[in-house]
């Protein structure tokens, strides 16, 4: 049986994070290809972690900088290893390459961390995100990880283009694989609440994530007061797990700014809202909250960064605005105009249907994996830069890890 080892940064929490949803979608693809899956992580299982055992997936706790991992992977002898984010590849990639050199190594970037961090730094310095310094230490680390991997999964077309055109990464080691939607159909859409049955603005996010914290503060301090002034009956409902104290303190019933906490059923709360409002000032990858909104027939208002990689050549499922007044004006118009709202909803349905349906990608992904496995040695020879990074990074990371392990004895 084909064996896949997934080394997770955390255990997937699909009800709280887009990253968790993404991981479960990948797991589904590999199960469909009859892989026997082992999920290993240095993290602990939380109350919201997916119960992987129900999918016949074996879980294993592993330790950083410890040779016990070598024994574990040697015994498992996987034919393929999937790293969840570049940090995980940095930590364990050299051990996999050394112990199981014939195992194919896949990196799921989730999003480009260096892009998100560079944009965050630009915002902190009061600079436009277009002036963000992308050529950072993090970029060097993340792109080195991409080169060391046999294939890196990229979730956004924008990020594909950035890697290929700006950083000259070979397209042969990259693979575009966005969110994969399975639970959408026109029949299901007929059961959505109507424009008249919906009310309020909604935002759903992991409230430990820096872009989301910034977005909520931006909403509260600069955007919502002007919206509320013109729509005095509307409320802004913020849903999300792990809200820090600074977010919980924003609760203000008088102005209709409500911190609702974790949503037990995303579909239910999203289907009751009239607008998904996501004024993200920085970030990367695809925004799961906006995909969820389209699936639920809820038009969105977001920034260029929020909409990045989502709509391609299609019309966006709402409005894109990058300044406070633009976001406020768009919010009032979309909330109040049924015709505009219905067209935005239809745009969202088209985007999901043409760009994110699982069937558009599942078969092609299976073929890609098979081709790489069959020609793995040639593929690695063609990626000679990756061999250079593997040689030098393996040595430096390896001996740092061994020094930490020896120190901990």
The arrangement of strands across the sheet holding 275-278 comes to 257-261, 236-239, 201-204, 275-278, 300-302, 318-320
Among 104, 52, 63, 163, which residue's Cα sits nearest to residue 404? 63
Quick one: 340 and 364 in the same domain? no
CATH number of the structural domain spanning residue 32 = 3.40.50.2000
Domain carrying residue 79: 2-180+359-408
Quick one: 125 and 101 in the same domain? yes
Question: Which residue, 356, 381, 397, sits at the end of a domain?
Answer: 356
Region 250-275 average pLDDT = 93
Confidence class for position 393, pLDDT limits 50, 70, 90: low
pLDDT per residue as tens digits for the range 156-209? 999 999 999 999 999 999 999 999 999 777 667 778 999 999 999 999 988 888
Confidence class for position 391, pLDDT limits 50, 70, 90: confident
Provide the pLDDT for residue 186.
66
Quick one: 234 and 110 in the same domain? no
Quick one: 156 and 194 in the same domain? no
Contact 80, 3 (CB under 8 A): yes
pLDDT per residue as tens digits for the range 53-94? 999 999 999 999 999 999 999 999 999 999 999 999 999 999
Quick one: 240 and 266 in the same domain? yes
Provide the pLDDT for residue 333.
97
Quick one: 169 and 222 in the same domain? no
Contact 41, 7 (CB under 8 A): yes
Among 341, 321, 317, 338, which residue's Cα sits nearest to residue 329? 321
Q: What CA–CA distance (Å, rounded) separates 126 from 295?
A: 35
Provide the pLDDT for residue 264.
83
Q: What CA–CA distance (Å, rounded) separates 345 from 201?
A: 15
Domain count for the chain, please give it: 2
Quick one: 125 and 174 in the same domain? yes
Quick one: 9 and 152 in the same domain? yes
Quick one: 80 and 196 in the same domain? no
pLDDT per residue as tens digits for the range 6-40? 999 999 999 888 999 999 999 999 999 999 999 99
Provide the pLDDT for residue 263.
87
Q: What secondary structure does DSSP assign to 334-397, as a single string? A: HHH-HHHHHHHHHHHHHHIIIIIBGGGTHHHHHHHHHHHHHTHHHHHHH-HHHHHHHHHHHHHH
Region 264-280 average pLDDT = 93
pLDDT per residue as tens digits for the range 324-378? 999 999 999 999 999 999 999 999 999 999 999 999 999 999 999 999 999 999 9
Provide the pLDDT for residue 396.
65
Quick one: 351 and 368 in the same domain? no
Using the structure block, give the residue that is written with the tokens 């050529």: 135
Output the six-digit token pair for 134: 């992308």
CB within 8 Å of 157: residues ≥ 6 apart = 176, 178, 309, 312
Quick one: 172 and 71 in the same domain? yes
Provide the pLDDT for residue 114.
97
Quick one: 242 and 127 in the same domain? no
Question: Which residue, 356, 382, 400, sits at the end of a domain?
Answer: 356
Provide the pLDDT for residue 392.
66
Ramachandran quadrant class, 299 (left: phi over 0; alpha: psi -120 to 50; beta: rest) = beta
């Amino acid at each position: 049986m084909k064996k896949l080892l997934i080394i997770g940064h955390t255990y997937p929490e699909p009800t709280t994070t887009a990253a968790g949803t993404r991981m479960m979608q990948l797991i589904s693809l590999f199960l469909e290809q009859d892989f026997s899956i082992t999920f290993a992580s240095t993290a602990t299982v939380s109350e919201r972690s997916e119960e992987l055992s129900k999918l016949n997936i074996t879980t294993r706790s592993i330790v950083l900088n410890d040779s016990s991992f070598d024994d574990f992977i040697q015994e498992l002898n996987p034919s393929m290893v999937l790293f969840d984010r570049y940090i995980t590849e940095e930590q364990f990639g050299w051990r996999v390459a050394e112990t199981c050199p014939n195992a194919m190594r896949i990196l799921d970037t989730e999003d480009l961390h260096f892009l998100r961090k560079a944009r965050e730094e630009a915002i902190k310095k009061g600079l436009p995100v277009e002036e963000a310094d992308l050529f950072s230490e993090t970029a060097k680390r993340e792109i080195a990880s991409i080169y060391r991997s046999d294939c890196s999964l990229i979730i956004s077309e924008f990020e594909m283009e950035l890697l290929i055109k700006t950083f000259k990464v070979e397209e042969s080691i990259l693979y575009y694989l966005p969110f994969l939607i399975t639970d959408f159909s026109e029949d299901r859409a007929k059961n959505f609440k109507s424009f008249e049955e919906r009310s309020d603005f909604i935002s759903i996010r992991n409230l430990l994530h820096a872009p989301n914290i910034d977005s909520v503060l931006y909403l509260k301090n600069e955007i919502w007061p002007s919206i509320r002034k013109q729509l005095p009956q509307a409320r802004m409902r913020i849903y999300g797990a792990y809200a820090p104290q600074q977010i919980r303190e924003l609760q203000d019933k008088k102005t209709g700014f409500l911190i609702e906490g974790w949503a037990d059923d995303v579909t239910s709360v999203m289907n009751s809202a009239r607008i998904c409002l996501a004024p993200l000032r920085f970030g990367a990858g695809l925004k799961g909250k906006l995909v969820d909104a389209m699936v639920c027939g809820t038009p969105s208002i977001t920034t260029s960064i929020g909409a990045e990689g989502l709509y391609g050549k299609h019309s966006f499922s709402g409005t894109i605005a990058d300044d406070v007044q633009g976001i406020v004006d768009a919010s009032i118009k979309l909330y109040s105009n049924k015709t505009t709202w219905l067209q935005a909803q239809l745009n969202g349905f088209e985007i999901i249907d043409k760009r994110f349906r699982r069937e558009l990608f599942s078969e092609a992904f299976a073929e890609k994996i098979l081709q790489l496995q069959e020609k793995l040695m040639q593929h690695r020879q063609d990626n000679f830069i990756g061999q250079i990074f593997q040689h030098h990074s393996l040595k430096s990371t390896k001996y740092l890890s061994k020094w930490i392990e020896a120190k901990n004895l």
